[in-house]
Structure 1
Amino acid sequence: MAKKKQNAEPMEEELIPKDEGGGIVNAIWRFFSSMKLGIFLLIIIAVVSIVGTLMEPDPNTGEYMYYRTVWFRFLLFMLTMNLFICSVARFKGLLKAMEPPKTDFNEGFVKKLKYAATAKIKSTVSGAENTLESALKGHGYRVNSKRVDEKVFIAADKGRFGVWGSFISHIAFIVIVIGAIIGNLYGFNGFINALEGETFNLGDVQGIKNVDPSDYFDVRVDDFRVEMRPNGMPKDYFSDLTVIDDGDEVLKKTIEVNDPLKYKGIVFYQSSYGQVTDISGTFKTKSGETQEISTYEGGVVALPGTGFSLKVAKFIPDYDPQYGTESKSPNPNNPAVVYAIFQGQQSVAMDVAKLNTPVEVAGGTLEFTKYAVREYTGLQVKKDPGVPVVWLGCGLLVFGVTLSFVIQQRKIWAVISDEAGKAIVDIGGMTLKNKLAFEREFNRIVGTVKENK
């Protein structure tokens, strides 16, 4: 019984590494190179990623800290190792696929292929060989042939570069992960709320790291504005920023959502906005001494000479006792302040005071006299040196996927022999993708050979 001797040039499915024996090293290698492990990790990461989107983001940075946990990074590490080892294990087979098609096979192998045909034509073996080679080359095949004992063995292939698609896609994912690691190790993701007219230093950004203090610069918020929809909902919001470096105004830009300011590798994104109310007034002590006080909504200020402190808990534009501490309307018809008195860390009193209405607190007289509403812009501030690497990985991923789908590897084998002065052509082929198109092409090639009857 003749053995089925496969060609040495593998199809894509034959590039999967085989079990090569025991030992702890080989066991670890087989574990990480397992396709089942890769599929399992992809499913797990997909599920936990969906769950992660349901979590609340960090209120300061807007980040989903869920994805920065050790166990999530461990899953990514395992998937990266799986892809890397799979890629290494397949590399030798990919190089072999680039070699000329092998002719060491027999008629039994050809006849057992899914796509197979036999043609008996009035021609010499050499004539049939020329006809078949011409047909194969006409369809873009690379042809290799040899003559053994009055028989001609022909092996042909095309689309061999398509097998590199999955390899490049695996490498692309690894490059993307490396880019993310670079950004995590050498970048930062911070946040700051900056008032209109305020100038802040890069060092004031919450969460800043991996930046030399000598490279800090200032940013001034020249203006902030909101564009509203007809229904009163915000449509877009803008911040006019000026970068001041070493005392010089070096850059001005109006930023909005998805249109950030970039300077020295630091990116300022428009993230949020809000309002803060400045509150001022007077406090008159028992001795009759009057002191000016100034703070803001949420701020704390000491009441001079008392040992007490004042916290402005909330500003109410239109106070009505029936509405409690909620404003009756957004209009400043009856401004009031919700305040609390603290002795150390202990709250000792809490009440509401209308503007220009004195109240007795902490042994003195408190009167809120003025307020001013200022808008602030919420800026997400990022440095990510890994972005170019991530973009490189994305480009490789697109290239690899395109290569896999556009170029399909196809292989055809044939044995031509002589029988009573006629040429017998046994021809067969195989492919792993787009089999319907290959079948039509295979039939056209066979038809070309049969036309020489």
Structure 2
Amino acid sequence: MDKIKCECGHVNPEGTVLCEACGKPIEGNQHIDGNDKKTLLNMRYEGSARRSKTYTNSIVDKIWSFFSSVKVGVWLIVIALIASALGTIYPQAEYIPPEAVSRDPAVFYEATYGITGKIYYQLGLHELYGSWWYMILLALIGVSLVICSLDRYIPLRRALKIQKPKRHETFIKRQRFFSETEHVTTDEIHSVKEKLQQQRYKITEENGHILAEKGRFSRWGPYVNHIGLIIILIAALLRQTPLLFLDEYVWVREGEQTVIPGTDGEYYIENKKFIFETYSEEDGEIYKEALEKQEAMVPKNYQTNAVIYKKKGETVAGADPELEVVKEAEIRMNEPAKIGNGFTLYQAGYQLNEFHTMSFKVHRTDDQNEKALGTFTVDMNNPKHEYELDNGLTVKIDQYYPEYELDDGEPRSISKFPRNPAFVFLIYPPNETKPEVSFVGIGKNIDPTNENEYKLGIVDFDMRHVSGLTVRKDYTLPIFILGALIFMIGVIQGMYWQHRRIWIHPKGNGVLLAAHTNKNWHALKQNIEKAIANTSIKIVEDQQELDKDVSKRGGES
């Protein structure tokens, strides 16, 4: 950057409005209007040179100038907030309920929310927070914060570091708080210094010129805020990496053992028993009225008594892994189980009385005693397509409805969980290629042709509970907390303290007194009144108010 040399000898960067050392206005800023009314100095950033306002020719300069604009930063944040709000209209794809008919977003959103859900999916809002454009938007906000901060912090810090007690007279006279006293004694000046020190002002002197300053650190509050926000944005971006964040869902049936998702097959869980307890009137009168209004059971506790296993060594292809017990845990709501490597299991849902197996028998339609010609058992979670019976009969499953329901006369399944199973069976007699069709479910046994020679019937069934667990790993949470803590420090730093400066400028036998603060002018004036009490130094006047009065009188005349 080019340099501008002030008459005080200090060399300022090009674009400086007020000399960093003496405060003298540069580039014709000494203007006084026709009413001899002093124009107050613009003390924003101490009148220091900002790169975005000085260089605007090259591509880099234009990009820097664009992102250094507070308006650009605000608009980026507004766009991000609007986008984030749109993402909450319907659940994100990762939070599609496990019991949904289909977890395929293309099917789920239209089936559940109609045409608006279809539009929501087609616009890509179902995976908003992990989308490339949302990540770029967050990155742009971070870039804006960094450039905004550097563009202002560096010159401001330089100007405040270089400032001297001896200031140019124009700088003193064009402060908002100003007074001029013609006769002041040395003892009175000494008294003012002591009283300012008692108010915790730092006193700096140069050839009789005095600068009393306190609370400079409050000027860095906004920049501390920006650091906190940048850390929060980094945490949000890191949240998209599976190494630092994982949020998966797993169903574990009683008596079953399954791999815990997200652990790369390292950890397994076995559901020993699922416990479901509900409130009853015996729990107290307070629940009686609520229970009478409820049509369904009110859960009191649901938990999974589980065993967590860890794989030992490498597994031979095709062989079951060798496991060792890591821990036994009772996983309840708000009482998760930590299993190591940052993974935590949370009790999140359940399915009661899910059909595990169902046994059927085949008998002749005209057999009054319904003597079984053969039996077979269907695993509801992994049904086979074909079952061969001992007497030569073959039964095939043509349609399977885990949770059967009629919709406008058409059978369909409202979920993938076997809570009300129904089947369309094809029965092939020995040496026959044309099958008989039967529809069998709970309380349903339909022969659509009324000509079937064979009939199917339910013999037995086995039911069990299913536990729904959330598997979570989150290493980004400490980063979020750190960013929020730094942000709050910046808020407190800038809200509860103010940067206050008082200049005492000797002039002949008297002094010029001026003061400036970034906010809370009333408190600054009280500090000055306390310091100059019992002296002949005149109290400062608010020249901004005088300017308003002069302008008002000029308008009235």
Question: Smaller-chain TM-score range?
Answer: 0.7 to 0.9
RMSD: 3.9
More deviation, 45-54/221-230? 221-230
- In 1, distance between residues paired with 2:229 and 2:396? 60
Residue 236 of structure 1 deviates from its aligned partner by: 5.4
Equivalent in the alignment of 1:260 = 336
Residue 106 of structure 1 deviates from its aligned partner by: 2.7
- In 2, distance between residues paired with 1:363 and 1:339? 18
Residue 388 of structure 1 deviates from its aligned partner by: 2.9
Equivalent in the alignment of 2:384 = 301
CA contact (8 A) 1:155 1:411 kept: yes
- In 2, distance between residues paired with 1:434 and 1:73? 40
Aligned residues: 416
Residue 256 of structure 1 deviates from its aligned partner by: 3.5
Q: Does 1:386 align with 2:462?
A: no
Structure 2 stretches of 5 or more lacking a match? 1-6, 9-16, 24-42, 98-124, 280-286, 292-296, 313-322, 365-371, 389-393, 413-418, 428-435, 540-557
In 2 relative to 1, CA 103–451 (structure 1 residues): closer, same or farther, beyond 3 Å? Answer: closer
Partner secondary structure for residue 99 of structure 1: helix
Opposite residue 221 of structure 1, the aligned amino acid is N
- In 1, distance between residues paired with 2:164 and 2:171? 13
Residue 100 of structure 1 deviates from its aligned partner by: 6.5
- In 2, distance between residues paired with 1:78 and 1:101? 35
CA contact (8 A) 1:283 1:366 kept: yes
Equivalent in the alignment of 1:270 = 347
- In 1, distance between residues paired with 2:534 and 2:423? 94
Equivalent in the alignment of 1:92 = 154
CA contact (8 A) 1:155 1:414 kept: yes
Residue 193 of structure 1 deviates from its aligned partner by: 1.2
In 2 relative to 1, CA 357–28 (structure 1 residues): closer, same or farther, beyond 3 Å? Answer: closer
2:185 to 117, 123, 137: 123
In 2 relative to 1, CA 244–23 (structure 1 residues): closer, same or farther, beyond 3 Å? Answer: same
Residue 101 of structure 1 deviates from its aligned partner by: 4.4
Equivalent in the alignment of 1:332 = none
- In 2, distance between residues paired with 1:173 and 1:238? 39
Equivalent in the alignment of 1:340 = 424
Equivalent in the alignment of 1:219 = 269
2:79 to 38, 44, 52: 44
Deviation string 1:376-426 (CA, Å, 9 cap, x unpaired) is 22222123333333332222222222222233222222212333xxxx232
Equivalent in the alignment of 1:330 = none
Opposite residue 96 of structure 1, the aligned amino acid is R
Partner secondary structure for residue 161 of structure 2: coil
Q: Does 1:412 align with 2:502?
A: yes
- In 2, distance between residues paired with 1:252 and 1:436? 65
In 2 relative to 1, CA 433–336 (structure 1 residues): closer, same or farther, beyond 3 Å? Answer: closer
CA contact (8 A) 2:218 2:497 kept: yes
- In 2, distance between residues paired with 1:103 and 1:398? 33
Equivalent in the alignment of 1:135 = 195
Opposite residue 223 of structure 1, the aligned amino acid is K
Equivalent in the alignment of 1:33 = 68
Equivalent in the alignment of 2:527 = 441
Equivalent in the alignment of 2:303 = 238
Equivalent in the alignment of 2:326 = 250
Deviation string 1:119-150 (CA, Å, 9 cap, x unpaired) is 455513xx343223222222112222212xxx
CA contact (8 A) 2:438 2:447 kept: no
In 2 relative to 1, CA 40–57 (structure 1 residues): closer, same or farther, beyond 3 Å? Answer: same
Q: Normalization by structure 1: what TM-score?
A: 0.78
Partner secondary structure for residue 301 of structure 1: coil
CA contact (8 A) 1:284 1:366 kept: yes
Aligned identity (percent) is 22
- In 1, distance between residues paired with 2:328 and 2:82? 43
More deviation, 22-31/191-200? 191-200
CA contact (8 A) 2:401 2:421 kept: yes
- In 2, distance between residues paired with 1:98 and 1:192? 59
Residue 28 of structure 1 deviates from its aligned partner by: 0.9
1:376 to 460, 466, 469: 466
More deviation, 36-45/12-21? 12-21
- In 2, distance between residues paired with 1:342 and 1:401? 72
Opposite residue 436 of structure 1, the aligned amino acid is H
Q: Normalization by structure 2: what TM-score?
A: 0.64
Deviation string 1:220-251 (CA, Å, 9 cap, x unpaired) is 22333345454343455433333222433222
Partner secondary structure for residue 273 of structure 2: strand
Partner secondary structure for residue 471 of structure 2: strand
Q: Does 1:196 align with 2:254?
A: yes
- In 1, distance between residues paired with 2:379 and 2:95? 22
Residue 308 of structure 1 deviates from its aligned partner by: 2.7
- In 2, distance between residues paired with 1:443 and 1:452? 9
More deviation, 406-415/10-19? 10-19
Equivalent in the alignment of 1:179 = 235
- In 1, distance between residues paired with 2:169 and 2:183? 17
Q: Which has the higher contact order (CA 8 A, sep 6+)?
A: 1
Deviation string 1:157-208 (CA, Å, 9 cap, x unpaired) is 2111112222122122222222333332224332111123322212xx2xx3
CA contact (8 A) 2:397 2:425 kept: yes
Equivalent in the alignment of 1:110 = 172
- In 2, distance between residues paired with 1:303 and 1:389? 55
CA contact (8 A) 1:228 1:235 kept: yes
1:355-370 map, 5 Å: 364-370=454-460
Equivalent in the alignment of 2:224 = 168
Structure 1 stretches of 5 or more lacking a match? 327-334
Larger radius of gyration: 2
- In 1, distance between residues paired with 2:439 and 2:308? 43
Partner secondary structure for residue 284 of structure 1: strand
Equivalent in the alignment of 1:83 = 145
CA contact (8 A) 2:52 2:61 kept: no
